[in-house]
Chains A and B, each alone.
Chain A
Amino acid sequence: MDLAFTPEEQAFREEIRGWVKANLPADIAHKVHNALRLSRDDMQRWAKILGKKGWLGWGWPKEFGGPGWNAVQRHLFEEECALAGAPRVVPFGPVMVAPVIMAFGNKAQQERFLPGIASGDVWWSQGYSEPGSGSDLASVKCRAERQGDKYIVNGQKTWTTLGQYGEWIFCLVRTSSEGKPQTGISFLLIDMKSPGVSVRPIKLLDGECEVNEVWFDNVEVPAENLVGEENKGWTYAKYLLGHERTNIADVNRTKRELERLKRIAKAEGVWDDLRFRDQIALLEVDVVALEMMVLRVLSAEKSGKSSLDIAGLLKIKGSEIQQRYSELMMLAAGPYSLPFIEEAMEAGWQGDFPGGVNANAPLASTYFNMRKTTIYGGSNEVQRNIVAQTVLG
């Protein structure tokens, strides 16, 4: 047992740190460090910088043009990006659909889709949830009917994150209503510019349009866009959900935000209020415990000697912590988190936020936004079902 990273891992970290420092645009890092609004261009600019270096698909094996890093190296890369203030990579292309295409797609699909994902040129969206299918994902109704060499898709997807920017979308569609619900689902890649696709942004409680509804009205999809076999989509979806297990805990970003919480608490004068500071101390213990849990999973993956079935725990704890730090940031500002001024959440705003501290402007918005974390990716109640299943049978 050893807590320290190896000299090789340390050197790897230094290499990443140096590169990120030299290549992450300062204006983007400024927005991230201050929770200011990121534009589509900000996100895509960073994705393309990574893509040019060959690191947008940082989890990819070498045979598909990735760096071929192990679990620890991937973690160190994510950590250095997060601490430097890089925006979170929109995961739907490089982290979600790409591994499915690599594992289950045919060679033609791999050659057609992977380069655009690796470079950051093509924006992918995820078509999983439907109005009637949230936690019960296997109940999806969006239909794809085979007609000759194409599928005709009809139905609706929802909660499609950043779908307003999407160029392609990977969807779980129903191709059969026979047998168990899981056995009639297929995994289909759809060009969002196809006639019959329409997207409507949904305004959320923080005032932002982070998610969308997507409708499919007699959309023609070439049959060659089916990944793997028809009616086997559920297997691929589960593979996708099992991918990058430690990523969902988001512990690296959380460490950065805990540091920010401490700065806010000092600026607002509650750092010296022991009742408040003890709440930060509790969060600090939570973050260290979560990070230790993540490191245990990484170590097990690296050595291959032992397996740890605690991915569900990482999601539950990671999301609860994200909610807690955003809550404490808002509480630290107290009455000065009440003014809700949209322009003040844009970088470069020249106004005076009430009370004189502009950094307080996005705190309420972030708190509102973080309510999603215990709902998405399989709600925490569903995660508890999964954990209980592994413990109780």
Chain B
Amino acid sequence: MDFDFSDDQSALREAVQKWVEKAYTFDRHTAIVAAGGFDRAAYNELAELGLAGLYVSEDDGGMGMGPIEGMVVMEELGRGIVLEPLAQTLITSGVLGGYAPAELKAAWLPRMASGEALVVLAHQERKARYQLDVCTTTATQAGSGWTLSGTKNVVPAADLADAFVVPAMALGKLALFLVERTAPGVSTRGHHTQDGGRAGDLTLKDAAAQLITTDGLTALEHGVDIGIAATCAEAVGVMDKTVAITVEYMNTRKQFGVAIASFQALRHRVADMKMQLELARSMSYYASLKLNAPAAERRAAMARAKVQLGTSMRFVGQQAVQLHGGIGVTDEYIVSHYFKKLTQLEMSFGDTLHHLGEVSSRMQDTAGVFA
């Protein structure tokens, strides 16, 4: 039982922190939002730091690192509300590395690690909400390959990604496929998301696809769990900075002749925000520490973590805006952007109610971290 970071992990954190502070300023963030919500150049800078290859094995040109390194990186990206979806790369490289045939790995993982190829998960369907086993997209065998038909929504950076990991029904069973954006039969329609980032629809009409695995649900659940752990870590970074911004504001803003940080009603609210932040940090650790556990244990842990993180994100985000007063609801001031990022992360990979249902249906007679 040890929650200290290694020297290498601390060095990794510092490297990402330095990039965020120097290269990903609020001005740049604002410019990226205005230009559509995704900047390939910024993504490539992350790749140059080696982060796109974090979960890619060293043999495939990556860093071959684990969940704690992923957590450290995502916390720091969260602190800077970075829009480029590195979590997607952690998911898709994890899924390809864990479940794809050798030739598919060889064709994609080195290019993903270098940043040359951005591959995202395209699993959201209209009728599924947050359920992973609900899928109407179909896969048909065509010669030695497959073709896919169906529509996926809210696909991160859909119109700018290079390929998609797509769940589809093949012979009555959920399978996972890789689809290239430039393949015939693939069309995308991009849009902004709440947080200023980019997503889009992915429409497949007999689109050429390569099979990743016929055990699609297992791989998809694993991928989504990588996404949940990454989201939890990212949220901790966002909340950490949100609390810091709020504290700084409260110590400078004066009303009735004194800093508003002197009012007890507001001080207790900040204490409650700190509580939610530390509970969230604790459960983010828990999620990342359980990411390599057996599937059932891993799934249960992610649900528990996401309930806490969702609750914390909602509270910290809303209270940060409230404690800022009028300036908190403007687009010009930074805190509203942190609030919107938290709102989006709460609804990513299953919201609080969804995961509460998961916790509720998985409850055992025993209780606690080790039960």
Bound pair (A, B): yes
A362-393: CB near B (< 8 Å → 1, else 0) gives: 00000000000000000001011101101111
Which single member of A1, A291, A312 contacts B369 (CB below 8 Å)?
A291
- Residue contact B278 to A313, C-beta cutoff 8 Å: yes
- Residue contact A292 to B285, C-beta cutoff 8 Å: yes
Q: Is A205 positioned at the interface, with any CB of B under 8 Å from its CB?
A: no
Selected interface stretch from B53-61, B181-189, B212-220, B358-366: B358-366
- Residue contact B1 to A392, C-beta cutoff 8 Å: no
Q: A287-B368, A317-B279 are in contact. Are A2 and B360 (CB under 8 A)?
A: no
- Residue contact B271 to A384, C-beta cutoff 8 Å: yes
Q: A259-B365, A278-B356, A384-B268 are in contact. Are A295 and B274 (CB under 8 A)?
A: no
Q: Is B290 positioned at the interface, with any CB of A under 8 Å from its CB?
A: yes
Which residues on the B side are within 8 Å of A255 (C-beta)?
Answer: 367-368, 371
Instruction: Tell me the smallest distance from the CB of B71 to a CB of chain A, in Å.
Output: 9
Q: A388-B270, A392-B251 are in contact. Are A1 and B5 (CB under 8 A)?
A: yes
Q: Is B304 positioned at the interface, with any CB of A under 8 Å from its CB?
A: yes
- Residue contact B289 to A3, C-beta cutoff 8 Å: yes
Which residues on the B side are within 8 Å of A393 (C-beta)?
Answer: 251, 261
- Residue contact A288 to B304, C-beta cutoff 8 Å: yes
Closest A-chain residue to B275, C-beta based?
A: A313
- Residue contact A259 to B264, C-beta cutoff 8 Å: no
- Residue contact B267 to A292, C-beta cutoff 8 Å: no
Which single member of A72, A292, A298, A384 contacts B286 (CB below 8 Å)?
A292
Interfacial residues of chain B within 221-269, with CB under 8 A of chain A in the complex: 243, 247, 250-251, 261, 264, 267-268
A245-257: CB near B (< 8 Å → 1, else 0) gives: 0000001000100
Q: How far is the CA of A138 from the CA of B97 in the complex (A)?
A: 62
Q: Is B4 positioned at the interface, with any CB of A under 8 Å from its CB?
A: yes
Interface SS of A by simple majority: helix
Selected interface stretch from A108-116, A145-153, A303-311: A303-311
- Residue contact B282 to A282, C-beta cutoff 8 Å: no
- Residue contact B366 to A259, C-beta cutoff 8 Å: yes
Which residues on the B side are within 8 Å of A103 (C-beta)?
Answer: none
Q: A284-B359, A289-B279, A293-B279 are in contact. Are A313 and B274 (CB under 8 A)?
A: yes
- Residue contact A391 to B278, C-beta cutoff 8 Å: no
Which residues on the A side are within 8 Å of B289 (C-beta)?
Answer: 1-3
Q: How far is the CA of A383 from the CA of B275 in the complex (A)?
A: 11
Instruction: Tell me the smallest distance from the CB of B109 to a CB of chain A, in Å.
Output: 26
- Residue contact A3 to B290, C-beta cutoff 8 Å: yes
Which residues on the A side are within 8 Å of B4 (C-beta)?
Answer: 1, 299-300, 303, 305-306
Interfacial residues of chain A within 289-330, with CB under 8 A of chain B in the complex: 289-293, 295-296, 298-300, 302-303, 305-306, 310, 312-313, 316-317
Q: Is A22 positioned at the interface, with any CB of B under 8 Å from its CB?
A: no
Which residues on the B side are within 8 Å of A284 (C-beta)?
Answer: 304, 359, 363, 367
- Residue contact A282 to B368, C-beta cutoff 8 Å: no
Closest B-chain residue to A280, C-beta based?
A: B363
Q: A3-B290, A288-B283 are in contact. Are A391 and B359 (CB under 8 A)?
A: no
Q: Is A15 positioned at the interface, with any CB of B under 8 Å from its CB?
A: no
Instruction: Tell me the smallest distance from the CB of B319 to a CB of chain A, in Å.
Output: 13
Q: How far is the CA of A212 from the CA of B288 in the complex (A)?
A: 48
Interfacial residues of chain B within 323-371, with CB under 8 A of chain A in the complex: 356-357, 359-360, 363, 365-369, 371
Q: Is B116 positioned at the interface, with any CB of A under 8 Å from its CB?
A: no
- A-B interface pairs (CB < 8 A), number: 144
Q: How far is the CA of A263 from the CA of B366 in the complex (A)?
A: 10
Which single member of A2, A281, A291, A292 contacts B356 (CB below 8 Å)?
A281
Interfacial residues of chain A within 231-260, with CB under 8 A of chain B in the complex: 251, 255, 258-259
Q: How far is the CA of A214 from the CA of B70 in the complex (A)?
A: 58
Q: How far is the CA of A297 from the CA of B254 in the complex (A)?
A: 36
Which residues on the A side are within 8 Å of B250 (C-beta)?
Answer: 392
Interfacial residues of chain B within 301-336, with CB under 8 A of chain A in the complex: 304, 307-308
Q: Is B2 positioned at the interface, with any CB of A under 8 Å from its CB?
A: yes
Q: How far is the CA of A274 from the CA of B356 in the complex (A)?
A: 11
Instruction: Tell me the smallest distance from the CB of A213 to a CB of chain B, in Å.
Output: 31
Closest A-chain residue to B353, C-beta based?
A: A278
Q: A285-B307, A288-B304, A392-B251 are in contact. Are A5 and B1 (CB under 8 A)?
A: yes
Q: Is B159 positioned at the interface, with any CB of A under 8 Å from its CB?
A: no
Closest B-chain residue to A5, C-beta based?
A: B1
Instruction: Tell me the smallest distance from the CB of B258 to a CB of chain A, in Å.
Output: 13
Which residues on the B side are within 8 Å of A277 (C-beta)?
Answer: 360, 363
Q: A278-B360, A284-B367, A384-B267 are in contact. Are A6 and B1 (CB under 8 A)?
A: yes
Q: A278-B356, A288-B286 are in contact. Are A295 and B270 (CB under 8 A)?
A: no
Instruction: Tell me the smallest distance from the CB of A299 to a CB of chain B, in Å.
Output: 4
Q: Is B68 positioned at the interface, with any CB of A under 8 Å from its CB?
A: yes
- Residue contact B359 to A258, C-beta cutoff 8 Å: no
Q: How far is the CA of A2 from the CA of B292 in the complex (A)?
A: 12
Which single member of A2, A281, A292, A312 contacts B2 (CB below 8 Å)?
A2
Closest B-chain residue to A6, C-beta based?
A: B1
Q: How far is the CA of A388 from the CA of B260 in the complex (A)?
A: 13
- Residue contact B3 to A1, C-beta cutoff 8 Å: yes
For A6, A72, A381, A391, which residue has the most chain B Cβ atoms within 10 angstroms? Answer: A391
Q: Is A74 positioned at the interface, with any CB of B under 8 Å from its CB?
A: no
Which residues on the B side are within 8 Å of A305 (C-beta)?
Answer: 4
Sample (17) of A-B pairs whose CB atoms are under 8 Å apart? A1-B285, A3-B369, A262-B365, A263-B365, A280-B360, A280-B363, A291-B369, A292-B369, A296-B282, A299-B2, A306-B4, A316-B271, A317-B279, A383-B271, A387-B271, A388-B271, A390-B274
Q: Report the 6 A-B pairs with minimum CB-CB distance, sorted nearest first.
A: A292-B282, A388-B267, A281-B360, A384-B271, A387-B271, A258-B367
Q: Could you list 17 further interchain pairs (A-B, Cβ under 8 angstroms) beyond the known A263-B365, A303-B2?
A: A3-B286, A3-B369, A5-B1, A255-B367, A259-B365, A262-B367, A280-B363, A281-B356, A282-B307, A285-B283, A291-B369, A292-B283, A296-B3, A303-B4, A388-B271, A391-B243, A392-B270
